[in-house]
């Protein structure tokens, strides 16, 4: 599957970063660029929709952790959408499922980031 990333903003200011394909050493910098662009715009609520992601490595996990670290001091929030069992397994075995709120639909994630 070809890598693709798109950014959108809801009317209430939540940035949605939709990612498809593999999140790895080669594609993680594009995710980082999208996250940093949102944060530089002053966005405090981010949904990273990874429902189209079937592989994630440590470099991409580092980008996501970096986003959380940047948002936390500002009372911001980053949540994930992930449906692939292999990707979810990576979050479980690394213990990162306790760092991220992970939802199975974008609608649930939008509700979770607003809470």
Residue-wise pLDDT tens digits, 6-44:
999 999 999 999 999 999 999 999 999 999 999 999 999
Q: What's the CA gap between 44 and 64, in Å, rounded?
A: 14
Residue 33: its pLDDT value, please? Answer: 98
Residue 108: its pLDDT value, please? Answer: 97
Kindly indicate the confidence band of residue 114, based on its pLDDT and cuts at 50, 70 and 90: confident
Structural domains in the chain?
4-114 (3.30.750.24)
Give the global pTM.
0.96
Residue 20: its pLDDT value, please? Answer: 97
Give the single-character DSSP code of 45. Answer: E
């Amino acid at each position: 599957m070809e890598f693709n990333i798109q950014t959108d903003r809801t009317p209430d200011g939540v940035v949605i970063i939709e990612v498809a394909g593999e999140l790895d050493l080669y594609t993680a910098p594009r995710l980082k660029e999208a996250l940093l662009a949102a944060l530089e715009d002053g966005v405090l609520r981010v949904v990273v929709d990874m429902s189209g992601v079937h592989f994630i490595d440590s470099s991409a996990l580092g980008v996501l952790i970096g986003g959380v670290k940047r948002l936390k001091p500002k009372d911001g929030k980053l949540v994930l959408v992930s449906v692939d069992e292999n990707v979810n397994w990576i979050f479980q075995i690394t213990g990162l499922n306790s760092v991220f709120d992970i939802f199975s639909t974008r609608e649930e994630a939008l509700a979770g980031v607003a809470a």
